[in-house]
Chains A and B, each alone.
Chain A
């Protein structure tokens, strides 16, 4: 029989592992539910244990009961911390992705790609346009997390909107050169620059203004050379 807190510990291990992964692993719906259930059970135990005392419980007279109560209380709090830590680690990761400009479709798509690689085969049946609610089955995100990403994206956009000239999500590397060499990794279509339009076809190479293509580099269309 698992001990109190075993499940919580598992969550923390998941969280720890998540920190070092580039992609977000699947949400542990079952585990979260079990830990929550454990907390509710413990709370019920506490209530039923206190019931005969009718609110006049004296710890020094019933030391054994007092000890059980203490352990139960601590286990509940510990489980709560584990849950919070797990969710916070994941939201931190999600926020990071939002800052990088990934949108929900990308995130859900990531889950589908993982599913395909694991050989589940289920991923193939889901159309790629099915991000968001449609792709929910294969997504590594819980529905709540999908909501969170959406709302955080809005929040960030609102904050960013107040600094339009700065491009808050731009590169945090100090700018060295105004112009850089880039190679096109994926067809990105035509972009407008102040020196005219450039057609970004795969495997071609350009000398462009960094500010014009930063977005595309972050999204993986272009690669910076040199």
Chain B
């Protein structure tokens, strides 16, 4: 048994189905996309996070099982698994935090329409609703309650300025093309279009990149 065997043995993608590898890839991709995109993206469907949670739980149990073993070989494997586990947890944590940060910044915006609400997971929705309620309460008890009633709302649109601040969809993102496709972008002075080749990396406005990402022709980097 050489080092490759050990590595293969502890590699969760090897002896299990490819699904776990796929999940990790999906998670990584979702994480990168979420961190680059200026607006909140859809919560991944299809039970990805249920599976991820189950995987993490299983690995933690495995670590606990192996801890008692003093065999140096197990010990080494243990370190590999733990390192991997920490990384996996970091991915999930960073992903969730990136989403929470976005939700916190534009809470009312994401709660305003059903389409936007559907992007949040159930837990996030509960969190956002409660957080907004807390904030509103705080404003009310701090000063808003002594305002004239007409001015107590948090969603005024008077003077053509909405109080609900949406994320800036025009900010720039980098995307990598996953297949040959036409890339159209709007510029300040003139609009541009180019025939993109697979694996080209382009910088453009998120609002222009969004359709490409959604149809799977490109991914955020």
Assuming A145-B138, A158-B127, A178-B83, what are 9 further A-B pairs, CB within 8 angstroms? A40-B147, A77-B158, A83-B142, A95-B104, A144-B141, A148-B138, A165-B60, A166-B96, A174-B90
A174 contact from B56, B87, B97, B148, Cβ within 8 A: B87
Kindly name the residue among A40, A170, A175, A177 whose own CB sees the greatest number of chain B CB atoms within 10 A: A175
* Contact status A87-B142, CB under 8 Å: yes
Check: A163 CB closer than 8 A to any chain B CB: yes
Residues of A within 8 A of B (CB): 32, 35-36, 39-40, 43, 73-74, 76-77, 80, 83-84, 87-88, 91, 95, 142, 144-145, 147-148, 151-152, 155, 158-159, 162-163, 165-168, 170-172, 174-175, 177-178, 194, 209-211
Q: Which residues of A contact B3 (CB under 8 A)?
A: none
Check: B93 CB closer than 8 A to any chain A CB: yes
Chain B, Cβ-Cβ closest to A170: B93
Q: Which residues of B contact A175 (CB under 8 A)?
A: 83, 86-87, 90
Complex-state Cα separation, A40 to B97, whole angstroms: 40
Check: B180 CB closer than 8 A to any chain A CB: no
A151 contact from B134, B146, B158, Cβ within 8 A: B134
* Contact status B90-A76, CB under 8 Å: no
Check: B171 CB closer than 8 A to any chain A CB: no
Q: How far is the CB of A180 from chain B (nearest CB, A)?
A: 11
Complex-state Cα separation, A192 to B144, whole angstroms: 49
* Contact status B147-A36, CB under 8 Å: yes
* Contact status B93-A152, CB under 8 Å: no
Q: Which residues of B contact A142 (CB under 8 A)?
A: 142
Chain B, Cβ-Cβ closest to A42: B148
Q: A74-B159, A76-B151, A95-B104 are in contact. Are A167 and B89 (CB under 8 A)?
A: yes
* Contact status A77-B127, CB under 8 Å: no
Check: B36 CB closer than 8 A to any chain A CB: no
Q: Which residues of A contact B56 (CB under 8 A)?
A: 165-166
Interface class of chain A by DSSP: helix
* Contact status B135-A43, CB under 8 Å: no
A194 contact from B67, B123, B151, Cβ within 8 A: B67
Instruction: Kindly supply a per-residue 1/0 record for chain B positions 73-114, scoring 1 wherever the CB is within 8 Å of any chain A CB and 0 otherwise.
Output: 000000100110011011011101100100010000000000
* Contact status A162-B123, CB under 8 Å: yes
Q: How far is the CB of B29 from chain A (nearest CB, A)?
A: 17
The 8 A-B pairs at the shortest CB distance, nearest first, are namely A43-B148, A175-B86, A148-B138, A144-B141, A144-B142, A36-B143, A159-B127, A178-B83
* Contact status A39-B57, CB under 8 Å: no
A80 contact from B79, B100, B131, B147, Cβ within 8 A: B147
Q: A39-B147, A170-B93 are in contact. Are A210 and B86 (CB under 8 A)?
A: yes
Check: B25 CB closer than 8 A to any chain A CB: no
* Contact status A168-B97, CB under 8 Å: yes
Could you write out 11 A-B pairs with CB less than 8 Å apart? A43-B151, A77-B151, A77-B156, A84-B139, A87-B142, A155-B127, A158-B127, A165-B53, A166-B93, A172-B93, A177-B83
* Contact status A178-B79, CB under 8 Å: yes
Kindly name the residue among B67, B146, B148 whose own CB sees the greatest number of chain A CB atoms within 10 A: B148
Q: Which residues of A contact B186 (CB under 8 A)?
A: none
* Contact status A36-B156, CB under 8 Å: no
Complex-state Cα separation, A147 to B127, whole angstroms: 18
